[in-house]
Structure 1
Amino acid sequence: MSSGDFFGLVRAWLTVHLPRARRLSPHTIRSYKTALTALLDYLRETRGLRLAEVTFDAIDHATIAGFGSWLVETRHLAPSSANQRLAAIKSFLAFCAAEDPTLVAVWLGVKQVRSMRAPAPSPDALSMTAVHALIAAPGQATPRGVRDTTLILVVFDTAARIQEALDLTPADIDTTPGRGRVTLTGKGRRTRTMPIMDKTGRHLDQYLHAFHPGTPDPDATLFYTVRAGRHQQMSQDNITYLLNKHADTARQSCPELPERIHAHQLRHARAMQMLRAGVPVPHIKEFLGHANIATTSIYASADNQMVREAIQRAASPAPDLAPAWKGDDDLILKLSGLR
């Protein structure tokens, strides 16, 4: 099969099969597109293949196994992220095999590639001291300060995934005191309604007044940037940039803030806070929108502080210790739906 056949199937998979037949969200399709783009980068860097030379002949068990190792060793992806890329490639080849029986052997070979070994993840949650410092860092003196404070508060208070926060609209917000809530749309287009603190509701009211004056369009993007005079949804890169900008400021009073900040650390911090407050793990699972309680259980296994405090409370009195002493590729990518 030719390179044209390969990229024709890429385009059909990305623009027809995934959005129409499988009805996947744009966010999920973007992640699949990222996986294919990474595979093309791998073939170029390790095989010297230009896009016009990529065919199914270049794809077999050894190639995809090497691709997984390359993602971890050269691209420095976590094994879990590399496995997501591998799963996307396998999904693509399964689609190709269904479209063209001559590709079944390719799919069956790649299907046998083992996932990268991933150690049990430990959530890199921010401490509550760090969360408070980060929320306070933008200040309230400027419109951007109001926006950034509100965004950080909403992400923390609802434990939202970053894309869930970016997809919010004014219609998803209820700031009624004592009954405030935010409706998030998560993976698989599943929605969940999250209660919010009255303080978060007041910040949202202030934000809506400044950035969505009058009667807001209920379907407008809640958090946006302005480009060429038009409102556009903020990107994940925008969020990462502003979090790290404010972390640089907050670090002056809170040195424990890590050098790099990402939005998921706020989600982890909220989950750990709930766990330490005695909220049962099944309730936290629903709050976070996890499909499997095993995913939520990592917070319980990671929180040694709770165990330490319980041991201290249960310990019998003991004597004190003695005092111590101290060009072309662009066109192909566009035509195949990868750009």
Structure 2
Amino acid sequence: MSEHLLLAPLLESYFRRRLTKQRNATPATVASYRDALRMLIIFAATRLAKKPAALALEDLDRDLVLAFLDELEEKRKNVIATRNARLAAIRSFFHHVAAADPASFGVAQRVLTIPIKRAHIEVTHHLTKAEVDALIAAPDQRTSRGRRDRTFLLFLARTGARVSEATGVNANDLQLERPHPQVLLRGKGRRDRVVPIAKDLARALTSLLSERGIAHHEPRAIFVGARNERLTRFGATHIVRRAATEAVPTRPALADKPISPHIFRHSLAMKLLQSGVDLLTIQAWLGHAQVATTHRYAAADVEMMRNGLEKAGVTGAHGVRFRPNDSVLQLLNSI
């Protein structure tokens, strides 16, 4: 087998040159694409009974990639959005392969024909104010872990930050001494933004920094795990789910809701919308690249739609239904 078909040099040039130097991809993007390709290679090695280092590019053909994507959904129970995110990473790599190694163009082109799978767009779930308050109050304030958990939950609820933004915040990103406190969030695609900090969150953050002995100007992580390392996405999810378990006895409805760090973001967006904040302001607050993404919250607010019907004077009385008398129209109407 020719050397140009080996995976190692193509992977190295992809991550070191294409993603890092040419695309200037963020560390989060590099990590996400690395994990997707690692999963694909492990799947291929297991399926073909080869060591990962012995795999050639032609081993990663279209059929194998499709089998990998099917396993993500069927065995790992990944949602379609996650499946598509993995496919995006694989397609990015094979775009590089097609450009860097013309001899492999045929293999790459067949993989690139795999389409993105259409997903059902579900209703955006959110929590009521009482449910958010119950989650925030759930951690035990008598322990350092409980105080950290409450501050983290409060941060998610008051800022609407993505989990990666919340865990990535350092002490020097906070401006707590201003008359109106605020925080710098480093968003997706290097889209940084500044959002206001509520008074209760400012007090909790000040107390947490004091407890951990961190000065406001230090570039140190605010939220850390048991080993004093920056909190991970897994750790953040665990905090939220633990709080949900403790809050269910007081708020039983939480048991039937998809509780995750992201639901705080949805809940804040809905609260802002219901309070009369315009979509463009909510878009800027949440860091959405397009207002269409923010618009889904308006589509999810049934109560606002119901109020709209009342203001429009729509009574709900049924009018006379059109009944076609033409045979062709009657046929189409019956289908």
* Cα contact 1:68–1:116 (8 A) shared by 2: no
Correspondence for 2:146:
145
Letter in 1 for 2:21: R
Letter in 1 for 2:219: D
CA, structure 1 residues 312+177, in 2 after alignment: closer, same or farther (shift >3 Å)? farther
Deviation at residue 201 of structure 1 after TM alignment: 0.9
Letter in 2 for 1:219: P
Deviation at residue 243 of structure 1 after TM alignment: 1.4
Deviation at residue 103 of structure 1 after TM alignment: 1.6
Question: What is the aligned-residue RMSD (CA, Å)?
Answer: 2.4
Query: How far apart in 2 are the matches of 1:149 and 1:283?
Result: 27
* Cα contact 2:170–2:221 (8 A) shared by 1: yes
Secondary structure at the counterpart of residue 153 of structure 1: helix
Deviation at residue 178 of structure 1 after TM alignment: 4.8
Correspondence for 1:242:
239
Query: How far apart in 1 are the matches of 2:8 and 2:250?
Result: 53
* Cα contact 1:3–1:53 (8 A) shared by 2: no
* Cα contact 1:178–1:198 (8 A) shared by 2: no
The structure 2 residue matched to 1:291, chosen from 276, 289, 292, is 289
How many residue pairs were aligned? Answer: 314
Secondary structure at the counterpart of residue 225 of structure 2: strand
Letter in 1 for 2:35: T
Query: How far apart in 2 are the matches of 1:204 and 1:41?
Result: 42
Secondary structure at the counterpart of residue 270 of structure 1: helix
Answer with 1 or 2: which has the greater Rg. Answer: 2
* Cα contact 1:130–1:254 (8 A) shared by 2: yes
Deviation at residue 49 of structure 1 after TM alignment: 4.2
Matches within 5 A, 1:1-339: 1=2, 5-176=6-177, 178-213=179-214, 215-216=215-216, 218-227=218-227, 231-258=228-255, 261-312=259-310
Deviation at residue 106 of structure 1 after TM alignment: 1.9
* Cα contact 2:237–2:261 (8 A) shared by 1: yes
Query: How far apart in 1 are the matches of 2:96 and 2:8?
Result: 13
Query: How far apart in 1 are the matches of 2:189 and 2:116?
Result: 23
Deviation at residue 216 of structure 1 after TM alignment: 4.6
Query: How far apart in 1 are the matches of 2:140 and 2:176?
Result: 21
Query: How far apart in 1 are the matches of 2:314 and 2:122?
Result: 34
Secondary structure at the counterpart of residue 168 of structure 1: coil
Segment drifting more, 12-21 vs 290-299: 12-21
Deviation at residue 314 of structure 1 after TM alignment: 5.5
Query: How far apart in 2 are the matches of 1:10 and 1:104?
Result: 16
**Could you tell me the TM-score, scaled by structure 1's length?**
0.85
Letter in 1 for 2:144: P
* Cα contact 1:80–1:118 (8 A) shared by 2: yes
- Counting aligned pairs with the same residue, the percent is 31
Query: How far apart in 2 are the matches of 1:116 and 1:302?
Result: 23
Letter in 2 for 1:237: F
Deviation at residue 47 of structure 1 after TM alignment: 4.1
**Could you tell me the TM-score, scaled by structure 2's length?**
0.86
Q: Deviations over 1:207-232 (max 9, x none)?
A: 1111234x3552111111352xxx31
Segment drifting more, 309-318 vs 123-132: 309-318
Query: How far apart in 1 are the matches of 2:179 and 2:123?
Result: 34
Segment drifting more, 170-179 vs 44-53: 44-53
Q: Deviations over 1:165-188 (max 9, x none)?
A: 111111111224751111100112
Secondary structure at the counterpart of residue 192 of structure 1: strand
Query: How far apart in 2 are the matches of 1:216 and 1:113?
Result: 49
* Cα contact 1:3–1:55 (8 A) shared by 2: no
Deviation at residue 282 of structure 1 after TM alignment: 1.8
The runs of 5 or more residues in structure 2 that have no matched partner are: 317-335
Secondary structure at the counterpart of residue 233 of structure 1: coil
The runs of 5 or more residues in structure 1 that have no matched partner are: 319-339
